[in-house]
């Protein structure tokens, strides 16, 4: 048994909202539920519904801007800024800007559709 996971090419997770999701480690790529790491690109004017995830999520912006609504506050992250949203927080992620937003997402435990708990739009 190896004591490491080598992930050369990430797994592209299908999204029907124009967002590009490439998971390097997590449930979709190496079948681990402990954590997930993904490289994402949110297109201009992208948005998803509010959610109350059952995982902590750290977002690190590489380029562009990302808007986060959490606890009644609106936060805009710029390149090289990050945020940690704790599990159980009601949060909405969006890119209401006219340029793509490229970022990294780290989830503990790993992101799954069952753990994200998105509200209906």
Residue-by-residue pLDDT tens, the chain, 121 positions: 678 877 778 999 989 999 999 999 999 888 888 999 999 999 999 999 999 999 999 999 999 999 999 999 999 999 999 999 999 999 999 999 999 999 999 999 999 989 999 998 6
Taking the alpha carbons of 87, 116, 85, 83 in that order, is the dihedral positive or negative?
positive
Cβ of 27: how many Cβ atoms within 10 Å?
22
Reported as type and span, the H/E element at residue 21 is strand 20-25
At residue 121, the pLDDT reads 61
DSSP 87: T
What does pTM read for this prediction?
0.92
Q: What is the third-level CATH fold of 12-116?
A: Jelly Rolls (2.60.120)
pLDDT given for residue 50 in this prediction: 97
The encoded tokens of residue 51 equal 């959610």
């Amino acid at each position: 048994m190896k004591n490491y996971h080598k992930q050369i090419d990430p797994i592209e997770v299908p999204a029907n909202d124009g967002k590009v999701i490439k998971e390097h480690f997590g449930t979709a790529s190496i079948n681990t539920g402990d954590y997930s790491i993904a490289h994402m690109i949110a297109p201009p004017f992208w948005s998803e519904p509010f959610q109350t995830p059952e995982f902590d999520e750290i977002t690190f912006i590489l380029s562009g801007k990302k808007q986060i609504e959490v606890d009644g506050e609106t936060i805009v992250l710029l390149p090289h800024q990050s945020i940690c949203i704790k599990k159980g927080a009601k949060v909405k992620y969006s890119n209401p800007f006219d340029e793509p937003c490229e970022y990294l997402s780290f989830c503990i435990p790993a992101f799954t559709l069952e753990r994200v708990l998105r509200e209906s739009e």
